Chains A and B, each alone.
Chain A
Amino acid sequence: MDFLSQQEWWSVFIRWLHIISGIMWIGHLWYFNFTQTPTVPKIPAELRPAIVRYILPEALFWFRWGAVATLVFGLILAWLQGYLGSALALGIPDPHPHGKTTAIGWGMWIGFIMFLNVWILIWPNQQKVIGLVSATPDEVNAARRIAGLASRVNTLLSIPMLYAMVFAAHRY
Chain B
Amino acid sequence: MEALLNNLTATVIAGFVLTIILAIVIHVMA
Kindly identify, within residues 147 to 165 of chain A, every residue whose CB is under 8 Å from any CB belonging to chain B: 149, 152-153, 155-160, 163-164
Q: Are A149 and B14 in contact (CB under 8 A)?
A: no
- Cβ–Cβ contact B11 & A152, under 8 A: yes
Closest to A164 in B: B22
Would A167 and B26 count as touching, CB distance under 8 A?
yes
**What class of interface size applies to chain A in its complex with B?**
20 to 34
| A99 and B19 contact, CB distance less than 8 A | no
- B29–A97 CB distance below 8 A: yes
A90 within 8 A of B: yes
Q: Which residues of B are in contact with A by a Cβ distance under 8 Å?
A: 2, 5-6, 8, 11-12, 14-16, 18-19, 21-23, 25-26, 29-30
On A, residues with C-beta under 8 Å from B are 33-34, 37-38, 90-92, 97-99, 102-103, 106, 149, 152-153, 155-160, 163-164, 167
